Amino acid sequence: MITLFEYKTVKMPAEAEITEKKSRFISHILPVTTESAATEFIASIKTKYWDASHNVYAYSLKDNNIRRYSDDGEPSGTAGMPTLDVICKEGLFDVCVVTTRYFGGTLLGAGGLVRAYTKAAKCGIDAAGIVKRVFCHEYSVRADYSLIGIIKNAAAAIGCIEGTPVYAEDVTLKVFVPHTVTDFTDEIIGATNGRAVITKETEGRYMDAN
């Protein structure tokens, strides 16, 4: 079931570390698409950093609009919620953030903790990078080699995403057409004067748009 036609998520797993008054905050970022994947990631971080003072987490999932967080022993509202706030302010889905803290001996206070966990989450997300994902329909376009440049230009002009071509007697180009584009077939037929064979391959999938 599709809940969003476009959304933002992180490009890749990443880590980032900051230090506040000798406390270390290590932010771990992972793209996830299910709650089980998020909880497995959280468990793996807790196992790896078993000796840490806290392993705070937050995650947001596209399907069913699930959002969860935990302060993991930090004062209520100072760790998990600020982490989730960063995710939400960036407009991200399908991402899990776990921030590990090693206490440095100096109390940061509620405001200091909020700032530290916010900064750690933001640094981790920046390290992972952000990408927009768009729901697309997959098409195959088969044509003579001389028409491939024309097809690519026509598809790009209406916001389509180019896939990997297959070279044989003719060239078959995979094209991912965003759900908002309704005139793809007409555009390709017009650009090639009807000399391309267009086949709709799948009902839909998400593709990175940038």
Reported as a single tens digit per residue, the pLDDT across 118-169 is: 999 999 999 999 999 999 999 999 999 999 999 999 999 999 988 888 999 9
Burial class (CB in 10 A: 0-12, 13-18, 19+), 153: exposed
Confidence of residue 116 (pLDDT cuts 50, 70, 90): very high
CATH match for 6-128 among 3.90.1150.10, 3.30.230.30, 3.10.350.10, 1.20.140.10? 3.30.230.30
Taking CA atoms, 152 is separated from 16, 67, 139, 143, in Å, by 39, 39, 13, 11
Look up the CATH number of domain 133-208: 3.30.70.240
Write down the domain spans for the chain. Answer: 6-128, 133-208
Identical fold, 6-128 and 133-208? no
- Tens digit of each residue's pLDDT (9 = 90 or more) over 49-98: 999 999 999 999 998 899 999 999 999 999 999 999 999 999 999 999 99
Distance CA 187, CA 48 (A): 53
